[in-house]
Structure 1
Amino acid sequence: MNDIGTHATPRRARRNSTGPDLTACVRAATAAPSLHNSQPWRFRIGPRGVDVHADPRRQLDVLDPAGRELLISVGAALFTLRLAIRGAGYLSHTTLLPDPTDPDLVARVTVRRAMAPTPAAEALVAAIPHRHTNRWPFARSVVPADVVERLVDAARREGATLTVAGAVSRNAILSLSQEADRALRAKGRYRAELARWTSPHRGRRDGVPSTAIGPWDAMEIVPIRDFGLLQPHRGRAVAQFEPYPTIMVLATDGDTRPHWVNAGQALQRVLLTATWLNLATTPISQPVEMPAIRRMLTDSRTGSRAQMVLRVGYGRPAAATPRRSLTEVLLPADDEES
């Protein structure tokens, strides 16, 4: 996989013999989304680039026993790293799963020659700190067709497809999402796992804080995860959500580990593009966390596999979630281990 592609023409390359600030690029990558803000990634900075690792200690065993969502999260961080390098004025080359003997090494990103970023790439870089999962009601405004097409194109550029659900499909997907949410809440181990990622802890730099959870949908149309509350309607605000949300399904043409990583890259490109276009977004993962329901979202004509459901619209600003420090996610350089 090569450099971030854009429609715009790049300006003259800026010459910088020292290369990009890879520490700053890794810091940007840590702003990527992840399941329950688990941040299951680690990075090793080398002389020519960055190795991106999965952190299996942060895998959610109940929700994600196969590690699919873990690799989607790492893929989102990988795209953000590639984008940050591009924004710093350099091309890069990415090799997925470069070492068969090290399954946790997800990607190797090698910095190549200098080239000034396009305005579109700079816009995506500027969106990185403003992208937040929004679990609040959206406006009842329709997302324009040309805006939807930009999101579809963003997914296509990372080898995935993004499909807008029509009225019938939307209702079916929301119904399946509610069914999945109820089935998950009925599992004690699931509720315990959610509680571990939302328990208040002073100075905690991961998990979902109460400020980012959002209210419960009074009409129970949009399945906003309850984050471990045994009684979702108690101790949580209730609000009226939009009755006809814009729902999109992100899919890949296969369901292997590389497909999961690429799904994460496509997801992050879509989310950053949406942020750039002043859209709010909510990844809805419950229907793809239940194998039986996920199979219902498979396109029998093409065999594409659903990787994530997205809710898109115009909403109030969402709160940021905490991030681990660089010292927690940086692995020692190879020469430091010897």
Structure 2
Amino acid sequence: MNNIGTQTAQQRAQRDATGPDLTACVRAATAAPSLHNSQPWRFRIGPREVDVYADPRRRLDVLDPAGRELLISVGAALFTLRLAIRGAGYLSHTTLLPDAADPDLVARVSVRRPLAPTPAAEALVAAIPHRHTNRWPFARSVVPADAVERLVDAARREGASLTVANAVSRNAILSLSQEADRALRAKGRYRAELARWTSPHRGRRDGVPSTAIGPWDAMEILPIRDFGLLQPHRERATAQFEPYPTIMVLSTAGDTRAHWVNAGQALQRVLLTATWLNLATTPISQPVEIPAVRRLLTDSRTGSWAQIILRVGYGRPAAATPRRPLTEVLVAEEGETP
């Protein structure tokens, strides 16, 4: 009995010394959502820490000239990395923007002491591979109040707020979304940028594939982005979407780079919580991509800045989008510049 106890203690000490499999944790982080599935992140793995970088080469110049949505995407990957470490049985500490001389270094995540994951953390980890953007019609079922409260709490845990739009606000938001979508579609540079991220070719591991492009709303209530706009020989199908969608606005108490990163972390916690609850989600980003429209969604009196709009409901399973291999997102050498 003593020998078994000693062996277990030795195994525990060895595990504590080596820490979690950080490569596996980074692989989980790459499953995070990103604008046009651009995957604008890179990682450097150390002995017991991971540096998370933004990849400015993957910023969308037309939709995201300031890099706000890029940092939201990186923030979503950052949260997934933290969650994967927690699911592996370790605590971690995150330092945002740790080096003022290196603006692309978004965060440093350091592994701390071991601690068994909670059931809630394990549930969110299990949801990671099942979270997909759903651009299909949702059921006309009402999202239960307790599910809504869980989503609101998920955003709150990451320092953001999630507000459910009432009937009047929902109609106003959808109207603004349609206006923003029309304004974007009228820009030639927008169409060219869209083509860059939807052009199919063999072996592509980023962008939005045709399998992830949903139909057009026959009633033209929901402005589901038309990723098939420029694909040749493809006529987008139409379908009846839910007439009264559940719309939620994710906001932060400021609009700095740190707030954008935290918005991404909150977004991913909300999305994974929704997946855990068997809810489907669609980020609607057009209205926050037009500055004039985004200002209308922002409450300047309280300093609450709209970062992303979400559509939530019950829907058919959505297709996964491809992910780049680790060889493309890892910074291998200490002296290499991401």
Instruction: Please give the range of the TM-score, normalised by the shorter of the 2 chains.
Output: over 0.9
1:205-254 Cα distance to aligned partner (Å, 9 max, x none): 0000000010000000111001251599x701100000000000000000
1:170 corresponds to 2:170:
yes
Residues 284-306 of structure 1: per-residue CA shift (max 9 Å, x gap): 00000000000000123312000
Q: For residues 190 and 50 of structure 2, what CA distance do their matches in structure 1 show?
A: 34
User: Counterpart of 2:7?
Assistant: none
The CA deviation string for residues 177-197 of structure 1, in whole angstroms up to 9 with x for no partner, is: 000000000000000000110
CA deviations 1:113-169 (Å, max 9, x no partner) are 000000000000000000000000000000011100000000000000000000000
The equivalent residue for 1:300 is: 300
Q: 1:267 to 1:57 in 2, by over 3 A?
A: same
Compared CA separation, residues 220 and 14, structure 1 to 2 (3 A): farther
Query: How far apart are residue 333 of structure 1 and its match?
Result: 3.5
Deviation at 1:81, TM superposition (A): 0.1
- Contact 2:98–2:107 under 8 Å retained in 1: yes
Partners of 2:59 and 2:245 in 1: how far apart? 30
SS of residue matched to 1:327: helix
Which one-letter code corresponds to 1:182 in the other structure?
R
Alignment partner of 1:197: what SS?
A: helix
Opposite residue 150 of structure 1, the aligned amino acid is: R
Stretch moving more, 300-309 or 121-130: 300-309
Equivalent residues in 2 for 1:173-252, closer than 5 Å: 173-227=173-227, 229=229, 235-252=235-252
Change (3 A) 1:336 1:169: closer
CA distance in 2, matches of 1:264, 1:14: 34
Q: Which runs of 5+ in 1 are unaligned?
A: 1-12
Distance 1:85 1:36 in 2: 26
Between the aligned partners of 1:231 and 1:17, the Cα distance in structure 2 is 52
CA distance in 2, matches of 1:148, 1:227: 29
Q: Which residue in 2 is equivalent to 1:5?
A: none
Q: Give 1:253's aligned residue.
A: 253
Deviations 1:32-52 (A, max 9, x none): 000000000000000121000
* Counterpart-to-counterpart distance in 1, 2:195 and 2:75: 25
Q: Distance in 2 between matches of 1:335 and 1:38?
A: 25
The CA deviation string for residues 267-293 of structure 1, in whole angstroms up to 9 with x for no partner, is 000000000000000000000000000
Distance 1:73 1:58 in 2: 11
Residue 3 of structure 1 is matched in structure 2 by: none
Quote the residue 1:18 is aligned against.
18
Structure-2 separation of matches of 1:61 and 1:336: 25
Tell me what 1:52 maps to.
52
User: How far did residue 14 of structure 1 move?
Assistant: 11
Aligned counterparts, 1:19-38, within 5 A: 19-38=19-38
CA contact (8 A) 1:46 1:333 kept: no
Contact 2:195 2:231 in 1 (8 A): no
**Post-superposition offset of 1:16:** 3.6
Give runs of aligned pairs for residues 115-194 of structure 1, distance below 5 A.
115-194=115-194
CA RMSD in angstroms comes to 1.8
CA distance in 1, matches of 2:17, 2:319: 38
* 297-306 vs 71-80, which moves further: 297-306
TM-score (norm 1): 0.93
Secondary structure of the equivalent of 1:109?
Answer: strand
Give the partner amino acid of 1:286. Answer: Q
Match of 1:113, SS state, is strand
User: Which amino acid is the alignment partner of residue 27 of structure 1?
Assistant: R
The reply on whether 1:280 has 2:257 as its aligned counterpart is: no
More helix by share: 2
Name which one, 1 or 2, has greater alpha-carbon Rg: 2
Give the secondary-structure state (helix, strand or coil) at the position aligned to 2:198: coil
SS of the residue 1:61 aligns to: coil
Between the aligned partners of 1:275 and 1:42, the Cα distance in structure 2 is 25
Secondary structure of 1:334's aligned partner:
coil
Alpha-carbon offset, residue 15 of structure 1: 5.5
2:9 aligns with none
Instruction: Give yes or no for contact 1:177–1:223 (8 Å, CA) kept in 2.
Output: yes
Note the residue ranges of structure 2 that are not aligned, 5 or more in a row: 1-12
The equivalent of 1:312 in structure 2 is 312
Is the aligned partner of 1:65 residue 2:65? Answer: yes
Q: Distance in 2 between matches of 1:282 and 1:191?
A: 21
Q: Judge conservation of contact 1:14–1:115 (CA < 8 Å) in 2.
A: no
Q: TM-score, normalised by structure 2?
A: 0.93
